[in-house]
Amino acid sequence: MIKLKVSFILLLFLSSLIAPSKIIKGKVVAITDGDTFKLLTKDSILIKVRVANIDCPERKQPFSNKSKQFTSNAIFGKKIIIKELSKDRYGRSIANVIYNDSLNLSQELIKYGLAWHYVKYSKDSILQSLEDNARNNKIGLWQDPTSIPPWEWRANKRKKRKE
């Protein structure tokens, strides 16, 4: 009986780790930046979404406006599907974003050199391959050999504030 209870608890724990993505449909009503937007569901729930596995340039960084414009052109005002993976510390849904029936926003932003693959949180080999290709062909932000990843840029800003 004890083995059965332990097995059941272990099964519950493991299933929570591999829980399926939550699928949410809605219309994009605002673009915050290249990797963040607001989605309005059919139930009139407003969800802040952070695009999974990538990081777009921050405001005041080169290519910030271009990545935001790309995201706006791709999804603003459109009905899309998000596959929510988790929530971040700000309460935003971290999600894969599918638009135009089959396009993945993370992949498209990286393919056009408008985002970095966020390897701290992702081991996605497709995203890494797309980034490598954009980098090798000097597409988008990769035209600048001194491009600073947004996470480093944010860390430098925090460091300067403390000085």
Domain ranges of the chain: 21-157
pLDDT of residue 159: 79
Secondary structure (H, E, C), the chain: CHHHHHHHHHHHHHHHHCCCCEEEEEEEEEEEECCEEEEEECCCCEEEEEECCEECCCCCCCCHHHHHHHHHHHHCCCEEEEEEEEECCCCCEEEEEEECCCEEHHHHHHHCCCCEECCCCCCCHHHHHHHHHHHHCCCHHHHCCCCCCHHHHHHHHHHHHHC
pTM, two decimal places: 0.85
The verdict on whether 135 is a catalytic residue reads no
Contact predicate 56/64, CB 8 Å: yes
pLDDT tens digit string along 81-122?
999 999 999 999 999 999 999 999 999 999 999 999 999 989
Q: Of 75-79, 142-146, 154-158, which gets the smallest average pLDDT?
A: 154-158
Please determine, for residue 2, whether its predicted confidence score (pLDDT) is greater than 60: no
- Token couple for 84: 């929510």
C-alpha 100/C-alpha 32 separation (Å) is 20
Q: How confident is the model at residue 9 (pLDDT cuts 50, 70, 90)?
A: very low
Mean pLDDT of 132-156: 94
154 tagged catalytic: no
The one catalytic residue in 89, 92, 135, 163 is 92
Active-site residue 161, yes or no?
Answer: no
What mean pLDDT, rounded, does the chain reach?
89
Smallest CA-to-CA distance from 47 within 36, 34, 63 is with 36
Is the pLDDT at 14 greater than 70? The verdict is: no
Percent of the chain with pLDDT over 70: 88
Nearest to 22 by CA among 4, 3, 49: 49
**Distance between CA atoms of residues 93 and 86, nearest Å:** 6
Give the per-residue pLDDT at 85: 96
Per-residue pLDDT, 36? 98
pLDDT given at position 18: 54
Q: What CATH number is given for 21-157 in this structure?
A: 2.40.50.90
Q: What is the mean pLDDT of residues 47-71?
A: 96
CA angle centred on 66, ends 61 and 95, rounded to 5°? 90
